Amino acid sequence: MRPLIFTVLLAFVLTGVYAQNGQTDDMAGVRQACFNYIDTFYKVDTTLAYQSISPALQKRGFAFDEKTATYSKQLEMPFPALIRLAKNWNRDGKRANEQSPREVTVFEVADKTASAKVTAVWGIDYIHLVKENGRWMIVNVLWQSPPKSLRAMK
């Protein structure tokens, strides 16, 4: 009886360790996809976009105009437009540098889906990811320029 109990307990422990390692790998994959998204723009490196952003990307957001103190109407950016923008956005290095915000907060990771928040020099992005062929890919981005609370800090 004791060997059976020991075997069952060992199986539970090993299953838990395996599950935690899988969850840790997924968390790291989600974080890396989000950092690749930021660095696509900061480092003007579109190879990172191809690694972590789905060609089916749906990106929508709102830009704040300091002169009029209003947000734009909803702006949309499919994947090809993201690539075009990323090729030039920080080419001269004046929009982002080593001190620019580069934060990722992962909200949740499930088997096939995940959600996260990115804070970067351009504002905040809420990101949805899917796991495809073992890789986490960004499929949805909802963004806005820095909110009032962050603009007040400048």
Alpha-carbon distance of 39 to 43, in angstroms, equals: 5
| Number of Cβ atoms within 10 Å of the Cβ of 1 | 5
pLDDT at residue 148 in the model: 73
For 12-69, write each residue's pLDDT tens digit: 444 444 444 557 899 999 999 999 999 999 999 999 999 999 999 999 999 999 899 9
Alpha-carbon distance of 108 to 115, in angstroms, equals: 5
The pTM of the full predicted model, rounded to 2 decimals, is: 0.82
Q: For residue 145, which phi and psi values (nearest 5 degrees)?
A: -60, 165
Which residues form the domain of 132? 2-151
CATH of the domain at 50: 3.10.450.50
CA angle 115, 107, 23 (to 5 degrees): 85
Structure-model confidence comparison of residues 20 and 121, the more confident one: 121
For 22-36, write each residue's pLDDT tens digit: 578 999 999 999 999
The tally of domains found in the chain comes to 1
pLDDT at residue 17 in the model: 42
Alpha-carbon distance of 91 to 3, in angstroms, equals: 65
DSSP 147: P
